[in-house]
């Protein structure tokens, strides 16, 4: 029997799916009307869920979604109706593409996509002027776009284990706020890293 815990809502919910259910996201609890009052976060970790139901878009007060270590392959467009969302953690899911709708999440401050199958970053992520933490560790990204320089509120940028081989000079725009950057096990040459250190003299940069 699979068990899912949703916490930090107006209601604290602990429930078990029917033991014959192969996908916990089918559980009727995700469609219960009282969830519309959930105003803080949904946390589902290590539950093997394969889909995010479209009805998540009805949770208009939601501030955080934490769906780590599941079997999610797609993110519904409906999720981008959640204009109050501050944190979105989709780590360790086999997501290869995201809807290019991040401009609909203007309050987003934390976006963690470690261990996904993403090969490119949706361009609308670079419209998130409040974004403070961006994680892509162990995702097969090849390019960090020039638009990274638009994220002037960014404090943490993790790119460990990606296939990135260059960093655009526009990252200099982040020098006033970027506190920590991790680029361990990337394709960056020593020369590229030396340039990065000059562009970001006040940033703690971890590399090898």
pLDDT in tens, 171-200: 999 999 999 999 999 999 999 999 999 999
Q: Are residues 75 and 109 in the same domain?
A: no
Confidence of residue 35 (pLDDT cuts 50, 70, 90): low
Confidence of residue 14 (pLDDT cuts 50, 70, 90): very low
Confidence of residue 61 (pLDDT cuts 50, 70, 90): confident
Q: Are residues 65 and 106 in the same domain?
A: no
Range of the domain at 38: 1-92
pLDDT digits (tens, 9 = 90+) for 106-133: 999 999 999 999 999 999 999 999 999 9
Q: Are residues 112 and 202 in the same domain?
A: yes
Give a three-class secondary structure readout of the chain.
CCEEEECCCCCCEEEECCCCCCCHHHCHHHHCHHHHHCCCEEECCCCCCCCCCHHHHHCCCCCEEECCCCCCCCCCHHHHHCCCCCEEECCCCCCCCCCCCHHHCCCCCEEECCCCCCCCCCHHHHHCCCCCEEECCCCCCCCCCHHHHHCCCCCEEECCCCCCCCCCHHHHHHCCCCCEEECCCCCCCHHHHHHHHHHCCCCEEECC
Q: Which two tokens stand for residue 74?
A: 């797609």
Per the structure, the count of domains in the chain is 2
Q: Are residues 167 and 130 in the same domain?
A: yes
Residue that is written with structure tokens 């590229």 in the block: 192
Q: Are residues 208 and 124 in the same domain?
A: yes
Domain boundary among 24, 58, 92: 92
Q: Which two tokens stand for residue 114?
A: 């470690």
Cβ neighbours for 157, distance < 8 A, ≥ 6 positions apart:
134, 174, 178, 180, 181, 182
Q: Are residues 80 and 169 in the same domain?
A: no
- Global pTM? 0.86
Q: Are residues 84 and 100 in the same domain?
A: no
> What are the backbone dihedrals phi and psi of residue 9, each rounded to the nearest 5 degrees, phi first?
-95, 175
Q: What angle do CA 113, 202, 141 make, to 5 degrees?
A: 25
Say what the pLDDT of residue 1 is: 34
Confidence of residue 37 (pLDDT cuts 50, 70, 90): low
Domain boundary among 71, 92, 113: 92
């Amino acid at each position: 029997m699979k068990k899912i815990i949703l916490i930090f809502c107006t209601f604290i919910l602990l429930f078990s799916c029917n033991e014959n259910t192969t996908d916990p996201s089918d559980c009727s609890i995700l469609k219960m009307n009282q969830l519309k009052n959930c105003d803080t976060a949904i946390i589902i970790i290590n539950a093997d869920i394969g889909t995010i139901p479209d009805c998540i878009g009805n949770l208009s007060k939601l501030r955080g979604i934490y769906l780590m270590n599941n079997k999610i392959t797609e993110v519904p467009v409906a999720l981008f109706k959640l204009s109050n969302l501050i944190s979105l953690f989709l780590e360790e899911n086999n997501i290869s593409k995201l809807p290019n709708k991040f401009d609909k999440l203007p309050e987003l401050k934390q976006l963690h996509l470690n261990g996904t199958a993403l090969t490119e970053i949706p361009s609308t992520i670079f419209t998130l002027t409040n974004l403070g933490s961006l994680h892509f560790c162990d995702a097969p990204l090849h390019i960090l776009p020039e638009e990274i320089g638009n994220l002037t509120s960014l404090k943490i940028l993790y790119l460990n284990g990606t296939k990135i081989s260059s960093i655009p000079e526009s990252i200099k725009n982040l020098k006033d706020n970027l506190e920590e950057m991790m680029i361990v096990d990337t394709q960056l040459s020593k020369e590229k890293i030396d340039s990065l250190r000059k562009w970001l003299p006040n940033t703690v940069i971890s590399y090898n």
